[in-house]
Structures are given as C-alpha cells and as structure tokens.
Structure 1
Amino acid sequence: MKIDKKPDFTVSLLHPKYWGVWFGFGLLALIVNLLPYSLLFKLGRGLGKFGMRFGGKRAQIARRNLELAFPEKTPSELDAFIEENFKNSGMALIETGITWFWPTWRFKRILVAQDISALERHEAEGKGVLLCCVHALNLEITARAFAVLGLPGYGAYRPHSNPAYEFIQYRGRTRNGNKLIYRTDLKSMIRVMRQGHRLFYLPDQDYGHNKSVFVPFFAVNETCTTTGTSILAYTSKCAIVPGSGFRNDNGQYEIIANQSIEDEYPQKDEVAAAALMNRYVEQIILRAPEQWLWMHKRFKSVPDETQTNSRYL
C-alpha cells in the first residue's frame, strides 16, 4: 500500500527562495500561539472583511451560487451572507494555523464532541468507514479534531509544489495520527477501509464530467456530482458516515458523526446514490451555511458539455 511518505528536512529547504514560506508560517505559528482565541477570532474575521475589497470576482461567484441554491433569498440577505462568508474565509487562515501549530492540550479546549457515536460504534466493530465531510472553511480543524478525539483517518492529498510549504503542510495535516494518501491512489483508499480504517472524503464539489452524474443539489436540479462515493463504498464494503465540525457561537467546534447511512445507500445505482449523498451534504451545510466554501463554482458543469454554462454569465 502506497501511503504518502513524510517529507524529510534537508538543507536545501533553507535556500533563500524559501525564506518567504518559512517567514509566513513562522509568523502565523507565533500569532496563533501567543494570542488568545478571542483575539484570533477577531483578527481572522477582520482579515476576511478586509479581503472583500479585493475579492470582487469571488464575491460574484458566491452571489451566483447562492442565487442558484437559495432563489428565495433577497438581495440584502445575500449581501449579509456573502460578507459573513468572507469573514469566515479570513478566519480559515487562523484556523489553519491553530490546526497545524497548536499543542493538543490547547486544541482540545475548542472541541465539542457533540455526537460521534456512529464512528465510535464502527471503531469498536473494526469496520472501515468512508467519512463524508464537506469543504467547510474550517476543514483543517475538523480533520484534526477527529484524530484528537481518538478517531484518526486517512486523507486524500495532493502534495504542494513548493517543498518548504509541503514540509510544513504535511506535518500540520498529520497531527495526532492522521495519515495521507495521494488523491489518485484509489487502491490504497479502498485497502485502508477494508482494513478497518477511516477515509476522509469530500463529495460536495464539482469535479467535472468524469465519473459524475447530474442530480439535484439545493434548488439546482442538475448539479454535477461525483460517483466516487459509490465506487469507494461498493468496492470496500465500508460504512458511510456523514461528518462535520462547524464553529458555534461560543467559538467551539461541534464535531458530529452520528449517522451511518450505508444501509439506505443504493450503491448499485450511481444516480440515486449521488442524489442521496447530496441530500446529506445539504443537511451538513445547513448546520452553518456561512462557513461553507461558496466561492467555488459549484454549478460550473452542465449535462451537455457542448453547451456554454449560462449559470455564471
């Protein structure tokens, strides 16, 4: 089984061309470790609001996604939603620093294991799990949170092209026992679940026509949705558990993985399976919709590849 190898530190990483990376992450580590969470929260959201001045294109994408997904929302509601989404995007930088650089004792203080009974049950049974999460802006925290709670998993991963960045990123994402598998290594993903481990999987974005079907997602009836969930679940005979870790009003992250849906999952019908998964993804997103990645073109693909996608025109 090919698991991504932890990158070694070499003298070449100290080359001046990498100094910017070391300085940037060093400053982030210093800030998140010196300041209390209350100030980090204000700083992160302040950065996000400031970033709105330069994020016009991303704001347009977010607005269009929201218009498509929630056509009942008024323009003023969309404005408030987008501003909150940008603030949470700025907070995502701070949350990445918290995830990668906080000691475990401090990290535990911001977690609330609201209900992780499904994962705990499968852990006791020794059954592999496809842990389906979403592209929440605090995704880095969610992944480490499961590991801190004693339920580490394997994440699909693409190494960064900058070796200094990769050295830091890899160590940040493998805290507390999490491991990484290269994102195209399907055989290893299946194997770890057959061996009783957990695989973090994100079925909520538009990955293009390859191995995808078009099914409803919020108010858009034909949304490009991956069939990877079906492929992984059918071939590994694993459990399927939706999971999330959104931040609540108290600045704590509520970790939820309380449903095991493989019994209702139509694995031999990719269209029905994708539609079912989208309904669970919707439920997850609606726990804290302003904390999801609305700045990604979720509806960029249309069923007929020869047609221009008018959704973003």
Structure 2
Amino acid sequence: MSSGFCRSFLHPRYWSLWFGLGVLWALVQLPYPLLVKIGSALGRASRPFLKRRERIARRNIELCFPNMAQAEREKLIEDNFVSLGMGLVETGMAWFWSDARVRKWFDVEGYGHLTAALGSGKGVMAVGVHFMSLELGGRVMGLCRPMMATYRPHNSPVMEWVQTKGRLRSNKAMIDRHNLKGLVAALKSGEAVWFAPDQDYGPKGSLFAPFFSVPDAATTNGTYVLSRLSGASMLTITMVRKAAGKGYRLYISPTMTDYPQEDQAAASYMNRVIEQEILRAPEQYLWVHRRFKTRPVGGGSLY
C-alpha cells in the first residue's frame, strides 16, 4: 500500500497526470444526472479509438454467449462502451465525492446477510466482480460497513497514492492480492475482505474450469486456498448501476453454505456464482479484459 505524499510527486513528469486528475475532480462537481450524460457520451466517443478493446469485448461475448443474436450482441457491445465511459466518471465520484453525496445515490439489498455473517465471529470473504463501476462500488461498500480489499498496486507512484487515498475514504485497508499471509491474518481476525476472482491472472495458481460457454477458463485457485486457510464465511457483494440515471444498488447475497471442499469443484462453483452476478447487468461488466488469454497446454489462442 502507498505511504504518504512525497515531494517527488510534484516533479514536472507528473504535471500532466495532476492536470488530468484536476479535470476529473472538476468534472464530478457537476450534478449527477449531467454526469450520466457526459459519461455515456465519453464512452460512445471512445469506441473508435479503442478498436483493440472492442475486438476483445466482441470475442469474449461471442465465446460466452454463442447463441446470442448478432443484433443483441452488438447492442451489448455498444452499451458496454457507454458503461466504460461512466466508469471513468464513477472513479472520480468514488475518489472525490463526500460521503453525504455518495449516500444520496445508492440503496442496499441484503445488508442483513453481511451483519449475520460478521456476527458469526468469523471473517467474511466478500466476493466481487469487475463491473465498470468497481471503484464507486468499493466506496459504497465501505459506507455500509468499512472493510479491507485486495488490489494490484499501481505502477505510477502518484496514481498509487491517489487511488489508495480515495479508496480509504470509507474502507480500512488495501492488501496486495499477492499477500496471502496478510489476507489470511485479516480474515482470521474477523475482518471482511473484498476480492474479485473473476479475471485471468495467468497460469500460476490457476485451474481450468467452465465459465459461461467456455469449458476451460483459467480460474484462480486463491478463493479455495483462502477459504481453506482462514475458515471465513463467504458471500457476494455487487453494485449495479440503475437505468435512467437513478443511481445504484448494492446487492449482498446470503452466505454460501455449499462451497465445495475440493479445489477443482470449488473453481467451477465460484465461476457459476460469478456468472450469476454478471447477469445482473452484463452490459456493465469488464468485457474488454482478455478473460481467456491463458490456455491449457496445447490449446490455441482464443483471440
């Protein structure tokens, strides 16, 4: 996790970055209904400049939903880029809005499931997915109940400081996703820790399990390992953007009571859970990530 502000952050090589952050701060001072229009427009305007990402999104959707009609598939891609633009605006909202302003725009379904899980005296593994509104979802989650979250440190020290400062406005701590010892210790101490096992993290520590219509998606074994080592309860927390600029809803599921005790079965189980969360709002999912880049030995590239 990043430390405090350093004078080196004021070096001229970071001035363009600070300018961009200043523009983002100024942008999100506008009323939310206007931000929805601006974010949507930014997403649509970005599509011609992000052709590689568009190809990745289209391929992922083809692989996951092979029976989807072509027109429906194209509409999903179009809406996904709208969501991408909103994701930029929502990052600014997450980092720079006051608690009172954030609270105005979300509601929660299933909060009792989280309090019940924490009341059991064990830690809670809060499973999330990579929706475009992920940064704002973390802020909202922390306003409901401050917790810890796993993350990948940013390559830029300035962005590392800014994003960590923003994320800790309503949460307790950020833990490097490679820090297994720290994650287990936090869970054993009774903390709630958010993490998202829905991406392709490479062959190391992964198994191949079905994901939608792809029979062999690289799936992290970390969920199973954390569960086995910590004995924590497990549930899902997902935030979805409502239609027509009406804000957001945070969904908290009941505790999983049938999580398998074998790694391959556990990977398949978790992918089914993630699928159900994605289907709450598939247009808001991060389809531009190469979810299926890691292949079994001898398997050709899907891209």
Supply the AA of the counterpart residue of 2:254: Q
- The equivalent position to 1:49 in structure 2, one of 41, 44, 51, is 44
Structure 2 residue aligned with 1:99: 94
The TM-score normalised by the length of structure 1 is 0.93
Q: Deviations over 1:274-308 (max 9, x none)?
A: 1111111011000000000001111222222x443
Corresponding position: 1:198 with 2:192: yes
1:224 to 175, 194, 218: 218
Secondary structure at the aligned position of 1:176 is classed as: coil
Deviation at 1:140, TM superposition (A): 0.7
CA contact (8 A) 2:127 2:197 kept: yes
Residues 22-44 of structure 1: CA deviation (Å, up to 9, x unaligned): 111111111102x1001101101
Shift of 1:69: 0.5
Q: In structure 2, what is the equivalent of residue 274 of structure 1?
A: 267
Give me the whole-angstrom Cα distance separating, in 2, the residues matched to 1:10 and 1:68: 45
Return the alpha-carbon distance in structure 2 between the equivalents of residues 264 and 207 of structure 1: 25
Amino acid of the structure 2 residue aligned with 1:71: P
**Mapping for residues 148-297 of structure 1, pairs under 5 Å:** 148-149=143-144, 151-249=145-243, 250-261=245-256, 263-267=257-261, 269-297=262-290
**AA at the equivalent of 1:219:** S
Asked if 2 retains the 8 angstrom alpha-carbon contact of 1:131 and 1:198, the reply is yes
SS at match of 1:295: coil
Q: Deviations over 1:28-76 (max 9, x none)?
A: 111102x100110110111110011111111111111111111111221
User: Partner residue of 2:55?
Assistant: 60
Q: CA deviation at 1:202?
A: 0.7
Aligned pair count reads: 302
Structure-2-length-normalised TM-score: 0.96
Residue 115 (str. 1) matches residue 115 (str. 2):
no
- Alpha-carbon deviation of 1:98? 0.2
Asked if structure 1 preserves the Cα contact closer than 8 Å seen for 2:148 and 2:171, the reply is no
Which residue number corresponds to residue 16 of structure 1?
12
CA-to-aligned-CA distance 1:215-247 (integer Å, 9 cap, x gap) = 111111111111110000110000011110011
Name the CA distance, whole Å, in 2 between partners of 1:157 and 1:281. Answer: 18
Match of 2:33 among 33, 38, 41: 38
Runs of 4+ in 1 over 6 A off after TM superposition: none
Query: Match for residue 308 of structure 1?
Result: 300
Aligned to 1:7: 3
Q: Percent identity?
A: 40
Secondary structure of 2:48's aligned partner: coil
Looking at structure 2, the residues matched to 127 and 69 of structure 1 have their Cα atoms a distance apart, in angstroms, of 35
Matches within 5 A, 1:66-85: 66-85=61-80
Could you list the per-position Cα deviations for residues 235-269 of structure 1 after superposition, in whole angstroms to 9, with x for gaps in the alignment? 000001111001111432111112211x20113x1
Aligned equivalents of 2:159, 2:50: Cα separation in 1: 24
**Structure 1 position 167, deviation (Å):** 2.0
The unaligned stretches of length 5 or more in structure 2 are none
Q: Return the alpha-carbon distance in structure 2 between the equivalents of residues 211 and 245 of structure 1.
A: 27
Deviates more, 1:90-99 or 1:9-18: 9-18
Question: 1 CA distance for matches of 2:157 and 2:197?
Answer: 28
Q: CA RMSD in A?
A: 1.3
Larger mean Cα displacement after TM superposition, 282-291 or 109-118: 109-118
CA contact (8 A) 2:209 2:217 kept: yes
TM-superposed CA distance for 1:178, in Å, is: 3.2
Q: What is the alpha-carbon distance in structure 2 between the residues aligned to residue 229 and residue 172 of structure 1?
A: 26
AA partner of residue 223 (structure 2): T
Structure 1 unaligned spans of 5+: none
In the TM superposition, residue 95 of structure 1 has moved relative to its aligned partner by 0.2
1:299 maps to 292
- Give the Cα separation in 1 of the matches to 2:196 and 2:113: 18
**1:163 and 1:66 mapped to 2: Cα distance?**
34
Distance (whole Å) between structure 1 residues aligned to residue 155 and residue 200 of structure 2: 23
**2:128 counterpart of 1:133:** yes
